[in-house]
């Protein structure tokens, strides 16, 4: 049986793509291995969102060169956003590379490309316009939580972002396909699904007839009832509609959490980022969401040091973080990406200043998260038990609340994938601790 090693870098979309590649190649007889020395095929599925992510992939790729020299029969491929962006040029740069495969429908071409790669290096990286086929079984590691891709690509062209170039134009899966996948997951006992797309809340606009994300959620909720937690990511602030807010508030299966990347706190920066909303509009939407869903957790992405970001612009980011009181945030230093308008701006912020600002954002978020977590002490929460989250040496079990907070807890033995009631007793910025009171 040939062996496949998959190395995945990047976001949830990349993780899902790797699971798709593993499923597809299982049909060709490949078994997964962790050990590259026994692999017949290594595929690095890589991210392109920031330069650092790309450098990580290149350095990992370099580490396989000696292996290939010892075992010339093995094949090495690069897939995903980096492959899509760099295309065939990767084959010229890395003589030991056999296969370069882009996103979307290209992933499904891997078996045919491997046949060609038996004789010569090959690339398939034309702009992706399709979707990965629905009939290929996804190789899912977890038995209780699953990503479900609902759309691919993005039409927003934020000034800093490479995604519209690597994942192509926005396209949505037909709702019936999604519902079938969800029904199978439910039958198999899955307890949590996360609907995945670059901007899930613009789902379905181009379908014929169009279907809104709110409608899709209502159909999923009817199917799964209370047996499943439904999550979704990522949402775009400009596409948060009143209909969506009302829908989120009314559906019992949908978790009380939105990941709503704000990127910056100054309207001037948001405009230069071409985000399509002002600070005030963002705050208004969060207020409307919180009003409709009182225990909602709001998390975000923040970019520091966007070109031209002044001290005062940056302090607007800090003040927005306090105003919204995000439950968590992911912060990044701006990284100029090829072909994006922001990379051409002349007023780039020096790296040292970006680093300082990043440290300030992280410190402030720790404070805000700790405050939220301290407020949980004494409360009893529902936790979906997740073995991946427990620290081996602590002896504690772990899981996530519906708001996506990580909870470590003792007081009883629990199985992965069950719902547990936990009384919170302690808080840190990144998780809370508690004791088991009941398991369902
Ligand atoms: N530089 C830094 N961060 C970026 N992101 C996207 N593009 C860039 C870039 N060029 C961040 C945004 C986005 C998250 C997935 O990555 O915050 O929401
Ligand atoms: Fe990138 Fe903007 Fe699209 Fe998000 S909405 S994927 S940041 S272009």
Residues 281 and 310 in one domain: yes
For helices 279-292 and 311-324, give the axis angle rounded to 10 degrees: 10
Name the residue with tokens 């992965």: 416
- Measure the CA–CA gap between 152 and 50, rounded to whole angstroms: 19
Helix (H) or strand (E) holding 76: strand 75-80
Q: 144, 189 in Cβ contact below 8 A? A: yes
* CA 49–ligand 1 middle distance (angstroms): 6
In a domain, 312, yes or no: yes
Under DSSP, the state recorded for 205 is T
Query: In this predicted model, what pLDDT tens digit does every residue of 131-183 receive, in sequence order?
Result: 999 999 999 999 999 999 999 999 999 999 999 999 999 999 999 999 999 99
Name the residue with tokens 């040029």: 89
Confidence of residue 438 (pLDDT cuts 50, 70, 90): confident
Residues 299 and 414 in one domain: no
Under DSSP, the state recorded for 208 is S
In a domain, 129, yes or no: no
Measured from the CA of 234, which atom of ligand 2 is nearest? 4
In a domain, 136, yes or no: no
Query: In this predicted model, what pLDDT tens digit does every residue of 316-331 receive, in sequence order?
Result: 999 999 999 999 999 9
Confidence of residue 391 (pLDDT cuts 50, 70, 90): confident
Domain of 9?
A: 3-124
Nearest to 353 by CA among 376, 383, 333, 373: 333
Amino acid 395: pLDDT = 85
* CA 270–ligand 2 middle distance (angstroms): 13
Query: In this predicted model, what pLDDT tens digit does every residue of 193-232 receive, in sequence order?
Result: 999 999 999 999 999 999 999 999 999 999 997 779 999 9
Binding pocket residue ranges, ligand 2, CB within 6 Å: 154, 156-158, 161, 163-164, 198-199, 236
End residue of a domain, out of 343, 374, 405: 374
Under DSSP, the state recorded for 300 is E
Amino acid 360: pLDDT = 98
Residues 220 and 85 in one domain: no
* CA 333–ligand 1 middle distance (angstroms): 8
pTM, rounded to two decimals: 0.96
Query: In this predicted model, what pLDDT tens digit does every residue of 27-37 receive, in sequence order?
Result: 999 999 999 99
> Which of helix, strand or coil describes residue 151?
strand
In a domain, 157, yes or no: yes
In a domain, 137, yes or no: no
Amino acid 437: pLDDT = 96
Amino acid 301: pLDDT = 98
* CA 9–ligand 1 middle distance (angstroms): 15
Name the token pair of 320. Answer: 């927005």
Please count the structural domains in the chain. Answer: 3
In a domain, 135, yes or no: no
The residue to mutate among 300, 301, 321, 365, having the most atoms of ligand 1 within 8 angstroms of its beta carbon, is: 301
Residues 356 and 413 in one domain: no
Amino acid 138: pLDDT = 96
Q: Minimum mean pLDDT among 43-52, 281-290, 298-307, 362-371: which range?
A: 43-52
Asked if residue 345 has pLDDT above 90, the reply is yes
For residue 221, what is the domain's CATH number? 3.80.30.20
Residues 401 and 368 in one domain: no
Residues 226 and 300 in one domain: yes
Q: Is the CB of 261 under 6 A from ligand 1?
A: yes
């Amino acid at each position: 049986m040939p062996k496949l090693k998959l190395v995945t870098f990047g976001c949830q979309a990349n993780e899902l793509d790797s699971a798709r590649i593993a499923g597809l190649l299982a049909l060709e007889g490949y078994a997964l291995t962790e050990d590259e020395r026994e692999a017949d095929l290594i595929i690095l599925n890589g991210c392109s969102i920031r330069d650092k992510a790309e450098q990580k992939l290149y350095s990992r790729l370099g580490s396989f060169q000696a292996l290939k020299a010892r075992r010339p029969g093995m094949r090495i491929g690069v897939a995903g956003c980096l492959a899509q962006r760099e295309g065939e040029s990767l084959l010229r740069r890395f003589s030991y590379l056999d296969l370069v495969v882009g996103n979307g429908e290209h992933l499904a071409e891997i078996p045919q490309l491997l046949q060609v790669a038996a004789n010569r290096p090959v690339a398939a990286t034309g702009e992706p316009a399709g979707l990965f086929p629905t009939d290929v079984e996804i190789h899912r590691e977890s038995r209780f939580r699953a990503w479900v891709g609902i759309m691919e690509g993005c039409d927003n062209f934020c000034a800093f972002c490479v995604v519209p170039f690597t994942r192509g134009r926005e396209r949505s899966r037909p709702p019936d396909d999604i519902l079938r996948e969800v029904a199978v997951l439910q039958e198999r006992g899955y307890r949590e699904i996360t609907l995945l797309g670059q901007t899930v809340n613009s789902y379905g606009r181009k379908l014929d007839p169009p279907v809104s994300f709110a409608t899709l959620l209502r159909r999923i909720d009817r199917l799964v009832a209370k047996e499943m937690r439904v999550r979704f990511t990522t949402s775009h602030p400009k596409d948060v509609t009143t209909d969506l807010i009302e829908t989120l508030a009314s559906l019992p299966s949908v978790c009380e959490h939105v990941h709503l990347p704000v990127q910056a706190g100054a309207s001037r920066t948001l405009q230069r980022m071409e985000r399509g909303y002002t600070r005030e509009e963002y705050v208004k939407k969060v207020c409307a969401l919180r009003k409709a869903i009182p225990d909602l957790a709001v998390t975000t992405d923040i970019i520091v040091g966007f070109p031209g970001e002044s001290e005062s612009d940056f302090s607007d980011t800090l003040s927005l973080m306090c105003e919204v009181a995000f439950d968590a945030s992911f912060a990044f230093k701006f990284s100029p990406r090829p072909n994006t308008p922001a990379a051409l701006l002349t007023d780039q912020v020096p790296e040292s200043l970006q680093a300082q600002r990043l440290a300030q954002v992280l410190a402030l978020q720790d404070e805000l998260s700790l405050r939220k977590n301290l407020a949980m002490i004494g409360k009893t929460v529902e936790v979906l038990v997740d073995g991946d989250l427990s620290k081996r040496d602590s002896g504690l079990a772990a899981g996530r609340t519906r708001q996506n907070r990580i909870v470590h807890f003792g007081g009883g033995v629990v199985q992965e994938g069950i719902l547990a009631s936990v009384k919170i007793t302690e808080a840190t910025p990144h998780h809370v601790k508690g004791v088991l009171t009941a398991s369902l």
